[in-house]
């Protein structure tokens, strides 16, 4: 690091060039180009109303993508987030359901589902840390398990007719901005600061770069991992709460495929799937880009399924371009 800094002092041009070639900057340029193209595609795209509404729609992916960034930075992965979201949504409705077996107050049901979500994440963490099962397999198993619990408990029945006050979070606005966008903003700030400015956050990079080395330098690797998987579970619960409030019903298939969107956002944001590098800003650009693509293409008359194709292609090409540029940069050093 110091040598690079010394080099920069001698040659300010190199510093500027490296700044330009950072993943976030490249992504930002791609995002700008996408916005220009999408604006040309439809005059409804670049309007305040539309953009705020898109903010509403990206909330669930955003909330899950933030802890996913932590996890992928450590070299892990969490495939179970969509299933945890489904389970939390079901439990929220099931516990509250006035004609169901529990009939809890709604507040209690929400807290309970958040606790269960966190617990689901902690269980992932415990299996990964204590038993030493790789994250991919662990969360694949719990992807099936948690979704199965959601389906089993609900028997595929939905719960509706929540009180009006419950919808504020998912449909209301605060200071003219959708309520849940504030939630996203707060969590973005918290996670960004934690990841880049705290010992805990820096330790996650250390774990991703060299787990054994991190362990030897006194980082409580196991505890940290359990914390981030637990956090991921909690955020999946938050996503469930907001989602139920937005769509006014609970179904057991909620959040199916959410893990793929979240991982796509994180990877698109320049976080290496092998761990050790990445940033929250990148992830934010990642999920904003995905949502704007979805929306802009829809406005331009492309079907939802066509949009999925575009996103898949963008994902692969973004990684290809980034790999190429990073290789050039490291070769240039």
Partner 1 sequence: MTATASPVTRPPVQARSGGFLSRALSFLFTQEVILFLVLVVLIVLVGSANPRYVAERNFINILNGNAYIAVAAIGMSMVIISRNIDISIGSLIGVLGTLSGTIAINGYPIWASWLVPIVAGALVGAVIGFLVAYLRIPAIVVTLGLLSILKGGLITITGGAWITDLPSDYFLAQMKSPAFSFLGLNVPEIPSPILLMIILTILAAIWMRYSTTGRAIYAVGGNAEAARLSGISEKRIIMTVFIINGITAGIAAVLWATQLSIIQSTVPAGLELQIITSAVVGGVSILGGIGTTVGAMLAAILLSAINSALVFINISPYWFRAVVGVLILVTVLADRLRRQRNRASERG
Binding-site ranges for partner 1 (CB under 8 A): 77, 127, 131-134, 136-138, 140-149, 151-152, 154-156, 252, 260, 263-264, 267, 273-274, 303-309, 311-313, 315-316, 319-320, 323
Report the C-alpha gap between 332 and 266 in whole angstroms. Answer: 27
The nearest distance, CB 32 to partner 1, in angstroms, is: 22
Q: Are β-strands 177-178 and 173-174 bridged in parallel, bridged antiparallel, or unpaired?
A: antiparallel
Nearer to partner 1, 138 or 245 (CB): 138
Nearer to partner 1, 156 or 190 (CB): 156
Nearer to partner 1, 30 or 145 (CB): 145
The nearest distance, CB 243 to partner 1, in angstroms, is: 20
Calculate Rg over the CA atoms of the chain: 21
Residue 260, token pair as written in the block: 């793929």
The nearest distance, CB 264 to partner 1, in angstroms, is: 6
Nearer to partner 1, 169 or 293 (CB): 293
The nearest distance, CB 82 to partner 1, in angstroms, is: 12
The nearest distance, CB 293 to partner 1, in angstroms, is: 11
Report the C-alpha gap between 195 and 217 in whole angstroms. Answer: 19
Residue 87, token pair as written in the block: 């389970």
Nearer to partner 1, 169 or 266 (CB): 266
Report the C-alpha gap between 262 and 69 in whole angstroms. Answer: 9
Burial class (CB in 10 A: 0-12, 13-18, 19+), 207: buried
Nearer to partner 1, 230 or 275 (CB): 275
Nearer to partner 1, 71 or 127 (CB): 127
CA 185 to chain centre: 13
Report the C-alpha gap between 167 and 1 in whole angstroms. Answer: 50
Report the C-alpha gap between 66 and 121 in whole angstroms. Answer: 14
The nearest distance, CB 144 to partner 1, in angstroms, is: 4
Nearer to partner 1, 168 or 321 (CB): 321
The nearest distance, CB 127 to partner 1, in angstroms, is: 7
Q: Return the beta strands (E) in the chain as ranges.
A: 173-174, 177-178
The nearest distance, CB 166 to partner 1, in angstroms, is: 26
Query: Which pairs with CB-CB distance under 8 Å and at least 24 residues apart come from 299-308?
Result: 299/38, 299/41, 299/42, 299/44, 299/45, 299/50, 300/38, 300/41, 300/42
């Amino acid at each position: 690091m110091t040598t690079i800094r010394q080099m920069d002092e001698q040659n300010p041009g190199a510093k500027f060039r490296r700044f330009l070639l950072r993943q976030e900057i490249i992504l930002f340029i791609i995002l700008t180009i996408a916005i220009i193209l999408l604006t040309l595609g439809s005059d409804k795209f670049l309007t305040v109303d539309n953009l705020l509404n898109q903010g509403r729609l990206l909330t669930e992916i955003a909330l899950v993508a933030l802890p996913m960034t932590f996890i992928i930075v450590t070299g892990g992965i969490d495939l179970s987030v969509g299933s945890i979201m489904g389970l939390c949504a079901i439990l929220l409705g099931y516990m509250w359901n006035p004609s169901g077996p529990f009939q809890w107050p709604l507040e209690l049901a929400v807290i309970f589902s958040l606790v269960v979500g966190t617990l689901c994440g902690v269980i992932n963490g415990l299996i990964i840390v204590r038993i030493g099962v790789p994250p991919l397999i662990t969360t694949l198993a719990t992807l099936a398990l948690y979704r199965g619990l959601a389906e089993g408990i609900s028997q595929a029945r939905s719960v509706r007719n929540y009180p009006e006050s419950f919808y504020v979070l998912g449909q209301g606005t605060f200071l003219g901005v959708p309520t849940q966008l504030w939630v996203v903003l707060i969590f973005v700030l918290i996670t960004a600061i934690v990841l880049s400015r705290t010992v805990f956050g820096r330790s996650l990079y250390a774990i991703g770069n060299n787990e054994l080395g991190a362990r030897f330098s006194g980082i409580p690797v196991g505890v940290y991992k359990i914390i981030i998987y637990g956090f991921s579970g909690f955020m999946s619960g938050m996503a469930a709460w907001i989602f139920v409030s937005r769509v006014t019903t609970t179904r057991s298939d909620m959040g199916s495929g959410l893990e793929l969107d979240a991982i796509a956002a994180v990877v698109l944001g320049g976080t290496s799937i092998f761990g050790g590098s990445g940033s929250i800003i990148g992830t934010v650009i990642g999920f904003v880009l995905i949502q704007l693509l979805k929306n802009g293409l829809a406005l331009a008359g492309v079907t939802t399924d066509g949009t999925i194709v575009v996103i898949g292609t963008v994902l692969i090409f973004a990684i290809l371009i980034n790999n190429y540029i990073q290789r050039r940069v490291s070769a240039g050093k």
